[in-house]
């Protein structure tokens, strides 16, 4: 169907999509899955075939394949993006739901919490969560960090009787900044290649900036925690009654610490080691037979899906070892976890479909064209481009890739008074603004933490905005004081 030119403009289509999602969920009380899916279909319906073809060509698709995509039906395009997102996160979410439920009901989460409190004390528990999520978030995907740590936040909050929101935001403050600033996370890894930034320099600078911005986010989270009270809510995968029962157990009734940590350490260690091997110089060189077999073994278990599946089976072993003699129905137990995980998969995949349809409108290319001749300082410009692209289409990684593609030529050809590292860091910080309902990560956080959509919009979105803006200010000061040239 052909629309008047104005109605085919990416900005107008974006506005309509936002109106459907926000109005549907908050105004009409639609289930998020339905609102996101409806928005995806409407956006796909409004997008002209020429825009779809041009989007595909810009991604390096062959002309014949691009033309074929533009002629696909709306249902096929939405279903493809839905399936692509589900393929990326489906197994992870399902396995993480099993791990989380096993950790909580076996008493493993309670054992970890007691050990952490012994080291940090009650007052410093949120700081421990912040630091842990940051360093775990460097080699591990953002969603994996959320899946691994949210059960601990629930158990910790029940244990200390308060500060659930602070613990949740502490996890987010660490994980989101590491995800966009420190290689080998996918976005920063692409950015250093496009911007020709030495990876070691980006790792050091990204870690320093990430810790500073995460600390700013933590202070904001402390303030927000005083203004809002968010309880730990009952859910199929984390029943409050079970968490409270574990609080009353003696230490001798809980599993040992090493066994409790195993479901978390397995994916963390294997994914980290596999990432390190992949980025190490000479990783493709010749090796002895034993070394080659060891690397092959690590590559197999370092795949995030395999790592999480392995961890889920270890978690089930942990649970059964603690429930010996009880009449626990394992089928019902796993079914409850998968019921909760299935809902998250559907909502997240619908969010991915919505974001994918927005990208096909050519919104990123239009933003690039609008800013190409904008005579503004490069650092704030990089930040703004990345932030606008992230807010428009939902993906921080897409924002990083698009913004670095726009600015890489300018960064390397201009006579800058500072190292172009700072432009790369500004792109990373800009990609934090503003997470909302077109972002799959937004829904993962909502559903795993049991925050409502309104609570997430009032907490997660401002938190990211504060950290990203703080990062921009720090970058501008550092570029002036330490130009690195």
pLDDT digits (tens, 9 = 90+) for 135-151: 877 766 687 778 778 88
- Euclidean distance between CA atoms 425 and 206, whole angstroms: 7
pLDDT at 466 over 70: yes
Q: Where are the domains of the chain?
A: 85-339
Residues contacting 110, CB < 8 A, separation 6+: 155, 159, 243, 246, 247, 249, 254
More confident residue, 285 or 72: 72
- Per residue in 90-135, pLDDT tens? 888 788 788 878 887 888 877 877 787 778 777 888 888 888 888 8
Question: Cα 336–339–341 angle (5° rounding)?
Answer: 110
The encoded tokens of residue 356 equal 């994918």
| Closest by Cα among 129, 89, 23, 22 to 447 | 89
DSSP, residue by residue, 7-30? GG-HHHHHHHHHHHHHIIIIIS--
> What's the distance, CA 220 to chain centroid?
20
Q: For residue 95, what pLDDT is reported?
A: 85
Q: What is the pLDDT of residues 169-180, one digit of tens each?
A: 999 998 899 888
Average pLDDT for 344-373: 75
pLDDT digits (tens, 9 = 90+) for 394-435: 778 777 777 776 676 555 555 678 888 898 999 999 998 888
Residue 412: count other Cβ atoms within 10 Å of its Cβ.
Answer: 13
Task: Read off the pLDDT of residues 218-252 as tens digits, 9 standing for 90 and up.
Answer: 999 999 999 998 888 876 666 667 666 766 677 77
Percent of the chain scored above 70 by pLDDT? 87
pLDDT for position 375: 41
Q: What pLDDT score does 418 carry? A: 83
DSSP 3-state percent helix, strand, coil across the chain (nearest 5): 80, 0, 20
Q: Does residue 184 have a cis bond before it (omega within 30 degrees)?
A: yes
DSSP result, 296-347: HHHHHHHSHHHHHHHHHHHHHHHHHHHSTTS---HHHHHHHHHHHHHHHHHH
The reported pLDDT for the residue numbered 370 is 67
In whole angstroms, give the CA distance from residue 208 to residue 178.
10
């Amino acid at each position: 169907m052909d629309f008047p030119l104005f109605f085919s403009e990416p900005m107008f289509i974006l506005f309509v999509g936002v109106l459907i999602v926000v109005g549907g969920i908050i105004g009409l009380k639609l289930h998020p899955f339905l609102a996101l899916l409806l928005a995806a279909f409407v956006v796909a319906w409004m997008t002209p075939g020429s825009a779809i073809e041009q989007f595909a060509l810009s991604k390096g698709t062959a002309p014949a394949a691009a033309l074929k995509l533009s002629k696909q039906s709306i249902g096929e395009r939405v279903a493809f993006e839905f399936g692509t997102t589900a393929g990326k996160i489906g197994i992870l979410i399902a396995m993480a739901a099993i791990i989380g439920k096993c950790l909580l009901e076996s008493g493993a989460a309670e054992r970890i919490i007691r050990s952490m409190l012994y080291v940090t004390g009650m007052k410093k528990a949120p700081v421990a969560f912040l630091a842990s999520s940051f360093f775990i978030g460097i080699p591990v995907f953002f969603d994996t960090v959320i899946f691994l740590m949210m059960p601990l936040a629930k158990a910790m909050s029940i244990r200390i009787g308060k500060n659930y929101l602070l613990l949740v935001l502490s996890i987010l403050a660490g994980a989101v900044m590491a995800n966009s600033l420190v290689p080998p996370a996918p976005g920063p890894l692409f950015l250093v290649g496009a911007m020709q930034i030495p990876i070691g320099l980006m790792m050091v600078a990204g870690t320093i900036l990430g810790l500073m911005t995460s600390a700013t986010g933590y202070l904001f989270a402390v303030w927000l925690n005083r203004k809002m009270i968010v309880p730990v809510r009952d859910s199929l995968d984390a029943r409050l009654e079970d968490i409270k029962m574990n609080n009353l157990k003696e230490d001798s009734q809980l599993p040992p610490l090493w066994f409790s940590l195993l479901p978390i350490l397995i994916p963390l260690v294997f994914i980290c080691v596999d990432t390190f091997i992949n980025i190490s110089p000479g990783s493709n060189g010749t090796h002895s037979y034993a070394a080659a077999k060891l690397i092959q073994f690590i590559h197999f278990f370092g795949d995030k899906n395999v790592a999480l599946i392995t961890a889920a089976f270890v978690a089930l072993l942990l649970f059964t070892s603690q429930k010996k003699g009880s009449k626990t129905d394992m089928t019902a137990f796993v079914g409850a976890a998968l019921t909760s995980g299935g809902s998250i998969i559907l909502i997240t995949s619908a969010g991915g479909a919505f974001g994918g349809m927005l990208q096909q409108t050519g919104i990123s290319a239009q933003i690039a064209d609008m800013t190409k001749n904008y005579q503004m300082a490069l650092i704030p410009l990089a930040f703004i481009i990345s932030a606008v692209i992230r807010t428009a289409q939902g993906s921080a990684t897409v924002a990083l890739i698009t913004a670095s593609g726009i600015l890489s030529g300018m960064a390397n050809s201009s006579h800058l008074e500072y190292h172009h590292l700072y432009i790369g860091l500004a792109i990373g910080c800009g990609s934090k603004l503003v997470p909302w309902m077109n972002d799959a990560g937004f829904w993962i956080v909502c559903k795993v933490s049991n925050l409502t959509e309104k609570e997430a919009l009032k907490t997660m979105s401002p938190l990211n905005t504060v950290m990203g803006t703080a990062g921009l200010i720090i970058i501008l000061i550092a570029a002036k004081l330490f130009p690195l040239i």
